[in-house]
Each structure stands twice: as structure tokens, then as C-alpha cells.
Amino acid sequence: MIESDSGPEIGQVVCIRKGRDTGQFAIVIQLINERFVFIADGDKRKFDRPKKKNIQHLECFDYISPEVRNSLLDTGKVTNGKLQWALGKFMEDVLEATEKGDEFDGERRCH
């Protein structure tokens, strides 16, 4: 999987590296400042109750969901179903790009 060198962007897929949700994937739904973002996955962490995370505790992937990004920029919100769909699409794309069992175990977890 390709990691992004720049800071996180709205709609970008991230992997949580520190905290209770370590290893889980989520999507950046709001930039707070240069240190913090709000993330959600539409399942455990819903859009209306996002998690505030230090960007140093996240691994940012070079993958931005245009559906989530456009929805957030146009209306200021996104459905939990769309977040789940975008993460599922990311998983499919990652599975196609990597060999089975390489960096992904198929359960919305990263290593």
C-alpha cells in the first residue's frame, strides 16, 4: 500500500496507529488544525460522533474517496453508509494491488 507524505486531506483513508482502535481503517472527515483531524468509519465510529485524532497517530494512505470528499465539501456531511462503502471500495482496491496476506488481513485492519 502506498503511504502519503503530505498531511491528511478530507476523504483520505487512514490507518490508526495509536490508541484503542489501533489497526482500524477510517476516513478523515474534518481537518481541525495542523495537528488534529476528525475521523469516522461509518460503523463503530459514526459521522455524528467522530474521533479526534492526532495526525502523528495515523498512517495516511495515498487514497482519497471522491464520493466522501465531494459529499463533505458540498453539504458538510456524509452518510455512514457512504463511509462504509468507501472503506469497502478501498479494501477491494488494496486487495487487487497487494498479494493475499501481504499487508492486509481482510477485516478492516492494517498492520
> All domains of the chain, ordered by start, with CATH?
12-97 (2.30.30.30)
Identify whether the C-beta of residue 26 lies closer than 8 Å to the C-beta of residue 16: yes
Q: What is the pLDDT of residue 106?
A: 45
Q: What is the pLDDT of residue 96?
A: 73
Residue among 48, 52, 47 at smallest CA distance from 36: 52
Average pLDDT, 10 consecutive residues per value, the chain (111 residues): 68 94 95 95 95 95 94 95 96 72 52 49
Identify whether the C-beta of residue 58 lies closer than 8 Å to the C-beta of residue 16: yes
pTM of the model: 0.83
